[in-house]
């Protein structure tokens, strides 16, 4: 059986000591994600990250650097996985979000860096890397999560 692989470009946007996140609801779980989503035909991964961030949060961003690649494997189907590619991005302009992702996005929120542990943010490895001040220095560029 061929694997089903989804690619999810996302951004890590930090401004004034706060990180931009979206509160999302999938099935019966609610948690925070870094803005991002699927790619459209003809887009580069960076273009998709910029577009998704604008649509979900209203923040027009500029990509600065690749931060991390996270592979997520679904426990109920090992042939299904998602690869999230996280970029460090800076805000160019802020307007209103253009979508709520069919009701999946409940809130767009700037969360203080020192309060990140108070929220269920996924994937957690990204929060850990940010907290360990690895935004500007060499870091582990790849991780893997397994759905439980």
Each domain of the chain, given as residue ranges in start order, spans 4-146
Query: In this predicted model, which residue has the larger pLDDT, 4 or 82?
Result: 82
Show the 3-state SS of 36-102: ECCCCCCCCHHHHHHHHHHHHHCEEEEEEEEEEEEEEECCCCCCEEEEEEEEEEEEEEECCCCCCCC
Question: What is the structure's pLDDT at 105?
Answer: 82
Q: Which residues are catalytic?
A: 107
Q: Which CATH number fits domain 4-146: 3.60.21.10, 3.10.20.340, 3.90.79.10, 3.40.1160.10?
A: 3.90.79.10
Classify strands 18-26 and 4-15 as parallel, antiparallel or unpaired.
antiparallel
Q: Is the peptide bond before 123 cis (omega within 30 degrees of 0)?
A: yes
**Which residues have CB under 8 Å from 5's CB, separation 6+?**
81, 82, 83
Predicted local distance difference test score (pLDDT) of residue 12: 97
pLDDT digits (tens, 9 = 90+) for 89-141: 999 999 887 766 666 788 999 999 999 999 999 999 999 888 876 555 555 57
* 50-99 confidence digits (pLDDT tens): 999 999 999 999 999 999 999 888 777 767 788 999 999 999 999 887 76
């Amino acid at each position: 059986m061929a694997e089903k692989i989804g690619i999810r470009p996302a951004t890590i946007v930090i401004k004034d000591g706060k990180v931009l996140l979206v509160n999302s609801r999938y099935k019966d779980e609610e948690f925070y994600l870094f803005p991002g989503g699927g790619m459209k035909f003809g887009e580069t991964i960076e273009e998709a990250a910029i577009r998704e961030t604008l649509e979900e949060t209203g923040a027009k961003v500029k990509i600065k650097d690749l931060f991390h690649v996270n592979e997520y494997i679904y426990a109920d189907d090992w042939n299904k996985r998602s690869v999230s590619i996280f970029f460090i991005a800076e805000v160019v302009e802020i307007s209103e979000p253009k979508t709520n992702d069919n009701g999946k996005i409940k809130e767009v929120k700037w969360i203080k860096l020192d309060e990140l542990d108070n929220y269920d943010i996924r994937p957690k490895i990204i929060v850990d890397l940010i907290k360990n001040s690895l935004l500007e220095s060499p870091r582990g560029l790849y991780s893997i999560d397994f759905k439980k």
